[in-house]
Amino acid sequence: MRSMTELKLMKGNEALAEAAIRAGVDGYFGYPITPQTEIIEYLMTERPEKRTGMVVLQAESEIAAINMVYGAASTGKKAMTSSSSPGISLKLEGISYLAGAELPAVIVNVVRGGPGLGTIQPSQADYFQSVKGGGHGDYKLYVLAPASVQEMSDFVEDAFDIAFKYRAPVLILSDGLIGQMMEKVILKPQKQRMTNEELIEKYGDWAVTGRKGRERNIITSLDLKSEKMEARVHRLMKKYEQMEKEDLRFEKINCDDAEYLIVAYGSSARISQKAVQLGRAKGIKVGLLRPITLFPYPKQALFELADQVKGILSVELNAGQMVEDVRLSVEHKVPVEHFGRTGGIIHTPEEILEALEQKIIKNGSIKHHKSRESSIL
Amino acid sequence: MTEEIIIAGFGGQGVLSMGKILAYSGIMQDQEVSWMPSYGPEMRGGTANVTVILSDEKISSPYLKIVDTAIILNQQSMDKFEESIKPGGILIYDPNGITAHPTRTDIKIFQIEGTKLASDMGNKKIFNMIILGGYLKLKPIVKLENVIEGLKKSISERYHDLIPLNVEAITMGINNIVPYKVEDHMFQN
């Protein structure tokens, strides 16, 4: 029975696609690109239009797909798209419009190495793009970073809940490793797609659902009156403040007695967890802080941990991006260094532990403002 | 119990599906599993490899540098992964096409003539199941009945009539894996 929870062995991309059907998503619009093509492939094979009435459409381009999402979201429907790094760059204009027009939508980025066409292997080099705007204007995305196939599945519904709660686009920031690997996954029961009546009751009467006697609902990101536009920007900023207060998510592993800290998200968090185990086996008291949301960011947790630990290593599959947010969060209380591989190479747990020993533990006596050298291998 | 395995060979040898069947077998006996492929350009005609972990505990990193067991099915993979085995760990390889045999003396090495046996059985596609049989002889971490359940889950129903043949191939592997002593071949390499 599809309505029961089910245990399966699935790729991260497939688990996400199946979760989209089960979450009662109304429309998926996408365009193939490695390493996320299994999402559209799975959806096309599953024929969700027969299971729930969900629309799955391969657009003529990434840009068309994101604008289809804009259209569907304007009518109050649960709409999503997915792509990988270069494709997300193409979608950024549309994402900015979604944020400006205050529309709920879910965007999935299964990151590959860049810049440019880069490589098809895993990377986390789209951190800046995801949390520092990416598109134009004063906006932020709520960003979820899954670290397992189970989270690829669970975060779809979570993402739509947030998207509708705030009427804002939400990004699921995965990567080629989490997207392509297989693990056990418990699938949630099938949810019904939301009706217009349910939408209005739960989230208000904002969508363009046919006027029927009420005032017109207008969906736009354009406000030529400066005062009105500024009010809109302030409204957005209020949402982001509320997200920080109510919907921040992170996980602490082995932090209680930690003298050293690794900060890592997504695939790097999984690999770092093994590095923590290896370190503990050697007698190094190291813990892991895993941001589950990248915006909002666990600033306060890091600020507090900085009073406890002697140094922090930010582990990312990139040349050093999240490390800036770690440094901002700890306000120079302890040394913060970066370690990461690029180009599609995945760091091993042994490499991470070695980096912790070399960059943080060994350099413990050196004042941290002196050591700001490049950390790329 | 945690068993970390890398299976490496040419694309088309059934490396990824062998890992998938092993992972499914683990699920059938309530274990945690992960299956992490190399899906790079090498999948399009070159080498392919997959890291499979079966464990009684939650799995941290699905990607590893050092493994308990390496199953090596071509020379390129031998060059790359012989070094990745823990001291005391296991290396299983098919000598077909291997020109530089393994040289480590701190691991246990076994040979299985998978290519030849599959050819003798008249079906090259069951090569990976012969190799899997050999592995299960050395590391009976999953029961044969769970492998059969795993097979049922990972191959399409219209091929379920081929399951007896797969079981036959596994048995062939179980009966045909032999130890390889580096010392005996030191002057040949």
Q: Is B46 on the interface with A (CB under 8 A)?
A: no
pLDDT class of A4 with cuts at 50, 70, 90: low
Cβ contacts of A60-63, under 8 Å, gap ≥ 24 = A60/A31, A61/A31, A61/A90, A62/A31, A62/A33, A62/A87, A62/A88, A62/A90, A62/A91, A63/A90, A63/A91, A63/A93, A63/A94
Q: If you average pLDDT over residues A178-199, what whole number do you get?
A: 96
Whether the pLDDT of residue B46 is over 90: the answer is no
pLDDT score for A364: 64
* Separation between Cα atoms, residue B61 and residue A180, nearest integer Å: 14
Percentage of chain B modeled with pLDDT above 70: 95
Q: What is the pLDDT of residues B63-108, one digit of tens each?
A: 999 999 999 999 999 999 999 999 999 999 999 999 999 999 999 9
Best to test chain A binding among B15, B54, B60 (most A CBs inside 10 Å): B60
* Same domain for A148 and A63: yes
Strand, helix or coil at A312? strand
Rounding to the nearest 10 degrees, give the CA dihedral for residues B120, B118, B135, A184. Answer: -150
A173 part of a folded domain:
yes
On whether any CB of chain A is under 8 Å from the CB of B156, the answer is no
Residue A1 has what pLDDT?
42
How far B24 CA lies from chain A's nearest CA (Å)? 7
CATH number of domain containing A124: 3.40.50.970
Percent of chain A with pLDDT over 90: 92
Model confidence at A36: pLDDT above 80: yes
Average pLDDT over residues A254-267: 98
> What chain A residue is nearest to B21 in terms of C-alpha separation?
A9
Instruction: Look at residue A118 and tell me if it is in a domain.
Output: yes
| Chain B residues whose beta carbon lies within 8 Å of the beta carbon of residue A181 | 34-37, 62
Nearest to A335 by CA among A358, A320, A313: A313
- Residue A239: per-residue pLDDT: 98
Instruction: State yes or no: cis peptide before B95, omega within 30 of 0.
Output: no
Q: Flag whether pLDDT at A144 surpasses 60.
A: yes
Domain end residue (candidates: A156, A174, A199): A199
Amino acid at B174: I
Residues with Cβ within 8 Å of A24's Cβ and at least 6 positions away in sequence, in order, are A52, A78, A190, A191, A192, A193, A194
Exposure string for B149-162, b = 16+ CB within 10 A, e = fewer: bbbebbbeeeeeeb
| A209: in domain | no
Q: What is the mean pLDDT of residues B120-125?
A: 93
Residue pair A20/A156 in contact by the 8 Å Cβ criterion: yes
Residue A359: per-residue pLDDT: 96
Q: What's the rounded mean pLDDT across residues A88-98?
A: 98
Average pLDDT over residues A206-218: 91
ipTM comes to 0.91
Residue A59: pLDDT over 70: yes
Q: For residue A262, what are the contacts with CB-CB under 8 A and spacing of at least 6? A: A272, A275, A276, A286, A287, A288, A289, A312, A313, A314, A315, A352, A356
- The answer to whether residue A329 scores a pLDDT higher than 60 is yes
Does A194 share its domain with A264? Answer: no
**Residue A148 shares a structural domain with residue A287:** no
**A193, A255: one domain:** no
Alpha-carbon distance A253 to A290, whole Å? 8
SS3 for A66-98, per residue?
HHHHHHHHHCCCCEEEEECHHHHHHHHHHHHHH
Contact B63 A350 (CB under 8 A): no
A256 and A352 inside one domain: yes
Q: Is it the case that residue A349 has pLDDT exceeding 70?
A: yes
Q: Is residue A230 part of a domain?
A: no
A15 and A154 part of one domain: yes
Q: Which residues of A touch B65 (CB under 8 A)?
A: 348-351
Q: Do A184 and B62 touch (CB under 8 A)?
A: no
Q: Which of B23, B63, B154 sits opposite A346 (nearest CB)?
A: B63
Sign of the dihedral through C-alpha A275, A276, A281, A286: positive
List the single range of A103-117, A144-158, A242-256, B1-15 with lowest mean pLDDT.
B1-15
Q: Are residues A281 and A351 in the same domain?
A: yes
With a cut of 50, say whether residue A304 has pLDDT above it.
Answer: yes
Query: DSSP letter string over B107-122?
Result: SEEEEE-HHHHHHHTT
Claim to verify: residue A124 and residue A261 sit in the same structural domain: no
Beta strands in A176-307 (DSSP E): 182-187, 250-253, 260-263, 286-291, 293-295
What is the mean predicted confidence (pLDDT) over B23-29?
Answer: 92
Cα angle for residues A126, A127, A129 (degrees, 5° grid): 65
Please judge whether B63 and A7 are an interchain contact, meaning their C-beta atoms are less than 8 angstroms apart.
no
Domain assignment of residue A153, given as a range: 6-199
Q: What per-residue confidence (pLDDT) applies to B188? A: 57
Please tell me whether residues A134 and A283 are part of one structural domain: no
A34 and A142, same structural domain? yes
B2-185: CATH number = 3.40.920.10
pLDDT band at A211 (very low <50, low <70, confident <90, very high): confident
Task: Look at B153 and A348 and tell me if their CB atoms are within 8 Å.
Answer: no
- Residue A218 in domain: no
pLDDT score of A87 more than 90? yes
Q: What is the pLDDT of residue A367?
A: 47
Q: Which of A177, A182, A348 is closest, CB to CB, to B64? A: A348
Residue A101 has pLDDT above 60, yes or no: yes
Residue showing tokens 């030191």:
B186
Task: Answer whether residue B187 shows pLDDT above 60.
Answer: yes
The reply to whether A341 falls in a domain is: yes
Q: Chain A residues with CB inside 8 Å of B64's CB?
A: 274, 348-349
Predicted local confidence at residue B45, as pLDDT: 59
Q: What is the pLDDT of residue B43?
A: 52
- The domain tally of chain A equals 2
Give the best residue of A8, A148, A150, A183 to mutate against chain B (max B CB count within 10 A): A183
- Residue among A180, A271, A273 minimizing CB distance to B39: A180
Peptide bond preceding A298 in cis form (omega within 30 of 0) = no
B24 contacts chain A (CB < 8 A):
yes
Pair A34, A155 in one domain: yes
- Asked if the model's pLDDT at residue A289 lies above 90, the reply is yes
Quick one: average pLDDT of B97-126? Answer: 96
Per mean pLDDT, which range of A37-41, A297-301, B7-11, B81-85 is the poorest? B7-11
Q: Does B86 touch chain A (CB under 8 A)?
A: no
